[in-house]
Chains A and B, each alone.
Chain A
């Protein structure tokens, strides 16, 4: 057990500890918790959408509220639920997997988290201050520039804050992986999850600035009277679509690649077999990322870009099927000849393969531009991306939660409840979304507040809504499982699965503050498995026991984030009343002042002393 957690602490002290922490594991846990919270919000919004669509011409919610609901559902799920939870895994697992004691920029890492959290809170506060954004999560101009009220302003500021936070996280992971790999941990010995963290971080780095620019243009048009999207003054609304999708398509891979990484850890562990075609998996990851930047305009086939552009982007899109196919077949080949143990974590991974394959199939179908003229902006697209994002990313997150729960929280989740949750969610998922492929082709565009009577869309929508409730039930069982495990679960061993392959399973569950008392010597891919096969129970140390240097905690990331949070209100409301500029400046002073303090005040960190380490158990 770590030094910190052996001492009994009061609530205030724990709160302060989390507010000031720069420990990547605690930050990871906070990402997971915040992501889960937003996941529930987004889920409730999804249920409201499905209730509205349970029957034709329903009036459960009004048209305006419906548009707010779909916008917040999409934005919340992508930016505030899926991505943060994946960042949580990256924080919690990646440094352990490469044999590092810390990340390269612990302070920045913490700042990234708080910016994301306050960005998410900011956007959701719009519900209470005059209405949420209502132009869809894609916020197409000029609907977004002309949307009345402040909903879209909250959208802009919320995404701007959390986007900056995510960018910081990405840079931190990149530098960590390049510079902090432990002794013997060469690039081609890195676990696949670390690889996908690396590649997803590259995507974050090069994709998010495009969104930042798009949001600035939208912000300037809405708040300061510029004319980027104002056709009367020569503006062009298609620019927004380009910028949004230059970010938006890589964003899909920012989500799915880490999920691929999670499956690439789970499938070998529970097949007791090394990952088949490791190098081609790494290569395919890079190829998907590269192609992911080349295909943004396949979201814009009906914009009128012309046949040449449509053809190029169609072929590029289809090409992504090749590296994705390589991955699917490698996972199958990993299981082939193995000894497959099916528990909850593995069940989610097994459920993923056929579900995601369907999503991939419809992806290629959507890439065929001629056919996309029919699919585009219908429920077919809704079905497709939910197969990819739920069937891929959410399944990945749930698989990862079962798999690494003991490493994060020291307890193994209950298996029975895990399986019940899986089957409820899995059945509900297919029930909800499979039928939507057909609804789309039968003439139901997406973002429809009502569908009309007698248009042959009633049964399909009813089935879809029923499925959504199954998914909700599955989620509730999972929550009960968490509560039950926290209260009753038994303490987990270092390697609770017995077949762990990577470094995180060589240390205690949960990991101590400094991760590794002595940095381990890595002798190949799957280093812990290698030691176990050689009859060793733990890793061979690569260094003598010595003092460990650790970064100091700081409250400044919270203060900086709050500064920007306050300034955001200034930005939003100065449109109505210029005296809000005071709030804007006050927020900026807090934020920039804190940054200055950080910059000018020396922080050399602290040491955990050798003598204290010797007292700790392994």
Chain B
């Protein structure tokens, strides 16, 4: 946007955030502190519209206040009959014409940015990720790279990454407020949009379309790392050996249990078309257990023991043999050792607490 808008933006951001709220939300979650291309464009239009609308509101408020104060019924003049005015053409034209102008002022930049954000000219030369929304987790498939992952989407900073968004069941909506506005994941068609993060960081993502009981628990992250780190991560992810034996005995037992309980029917480790449940490659570097809990072993054990109590209505509950706490701990130990890359959330600056 133009220069004056940049200035206005700074001014408004300052006054607006300072007066109304002490903070504008949590960093890397809020849409009010944009750090990505789409979020910035949205913010531009938001600010423009807020400026126009606040001006309108102030005018209405002033006229309203004067009218109510000045023309209140006076004591002792209850019988006074005011002049019955039919209307006033000049006034009526003024308050029709000015809003029309204001609508144009807002509509033109809106249309420009709509087309800008829908631009797919660079899609072919950019990284493409197929994003699939599932009840209640996200699957990411890097096109042409044989990399599948879940819940944490790694992207290089400063690059457009094109997302082909779809759903495997009901409608979801992909939203990373600090980086970009949202796009629905429909079951019948692919929606394409791009995201571009300006700064390295771990960004919160949310599902923004009611998708069942655990709709509010369908969080994910976008991990924006430097291009070098991203390349490294791609390399690491491509070279994962799913058969690899863990170092210690407990984790080895866990791996056996993982296999014995047929967890692989749904959960792949390494590149695999299996996407019934989240792909667990590089699990040690996950930012969260089940998308919402601290990434600790205890939480993972709790999840394995009783996922229903954590995410009601999830598709894992009841679809695997019962495991004892001891067994669950071993499986958790195994998963927590699946450290396939040195590029991790810490590389992006870690999760903001």
A, B from the same assembly = yes
Q: Identify the A interface with B (CB < 8 A).
A: 62-64, 66-67, 134-136, 140, 142-143, 146, 231, 235-238, 271-274, 276-280, 302-304, 306-307, 310-311, 314-315, 318-319, 321-322, 325-326, 328-330, 332-333, 335-342, 350, 353-354, 357-358, 361-362, 364-365, 368-374, 376-378, 438, 441-443, 445-452, 454-457, 533
Contact of B103 among A62, A66, A322, A454 (CB under 8 A): A322
Q: In the complex, A328→B95 CA distance in Å?
A: 10
Cβ of B191 within 8 Å of any chain A Cβ, yes or no, is: yes
Please judge, given known A-B contacts A341-B73, A373-B181, whether A445 and B207 are in contact too, CB under 8 Å.
yes
Q: Identify the B interface with A (CB < 8 A).
A: 20-21, 23-26, 29-32, 38-39, 41-46, 48-50, 52-54, 56-57, 60-61, 63-64, 67-68, 71-74, 77, 80-88, 91-92, 95-96, 99-100, 102-103, 106-107, 110-111, 113-115, 117-118, 169-171, 173, 175, 177, 180-184, 186-189, 191, 204, 206-217, 219, 292, 312-313, 353
Residues of B within 8 A of A274 (CB): 84-86
Give, as a whole number of angstroms, the nearest-CB distance from B201 to chain A: 14
Q: In the complex, A142→B184 CA distance in Å?
A: 13
Please judge, given known A-B contacts A136-B210, A272-B82, A354-B60, whether A442 and B216 are in contact too, CB under 8 Å.
no
- Do A370 and B53 touch across chains, with their CB atoms under 8 A apart? no
- Do A368 and B106 touch across chains, with their CB atoms under 8 A apart? yes
- Do A368 and B87 touch across chains, with their CB atoms under 8 A apart? no
- Do B86 and A278 touch across chains, with their CB atoms under 8 A apart? yes
- Do A445 and B100 touch across chains, with their CB atoms under 8 A apart? no
Contact of B71 among A326, A340, A372 (CB under 8 A): A340
Residues of B within 8 A of A451 (CB): 216
Residues of A within 8 A of B211 (CB): 143
Please judge, given known A-B contacts A322-B100, A443-B177, whether A271 and B82 are in contact too, CB under 8 Å.
yes
For the complex of A and B, the 4 pairs showing the least CB-CB separation, nearest first, are A373-B181, A442-B25, A304-B191, A448-B216
Give, as a whole number of angstroms, the nearest-CB distance from A1 to chain B: 30
Please judge, given known A-B contacts A278-B87, A335-B71, A443-B206, whether A303 and B186 are in contact too, CB under 8 Å.
yes
Q: In the complex, A364→B83 CA distance in Å?
A: 35
Q: In the complex, A441→B31 CA distance in Å?
A: 5
- Do B186 and A237 touch across chains, with their CB atoms under 8 A apart? yes
- Do A374 and B46 touch across chains, with their CB atoms under 8 A apart? yes
Q: In the complex, A238→B24 CA distance in Å?
A: 34
Give, as a whole number of angstroms, the nearest-CB distance from A86 to chain B: 25
- Do A445 and B99 touch across chains, with their CB atoms under 8 A apart? no
Q: Which residue of A lies closest to B353 (CB)?
A: A454
- Do A361 and B71 touch across chains, with their CB atoms under 8 A apart? no
Residues of A within 8 A of B212 (CB): 67, 143
- Do B82 and A338 touch across chains, with their CB atoms under 8 A apart? yes
Residues of B within 8 A of A329 (CB): 60, 63, 91-92, 95
Please judge, given known A-B contacts A67-B213, A365-B53, A442-B24, whether A370 and B181 are in contact too, CB under 8 Å.
yes
Q: In the complex, A64→B48 CA distance in Å?
A: 40
- Do A371 and B92 touch across chains, with their CB atoms under 8 A apart? no
A277-B87, A445-B207 known, 18 other contacts, Cβ within 8 Å:
A271-B71, A337-B82, A337-B83, A337-B85, A339-B77, A340-B72, A353-B60, A361-B57, A364-B53, A364-B106, A369-B110, A438-B32, A441-B32, A442-B26, A443-B25, A443-B30, A445-B173, A456-B23
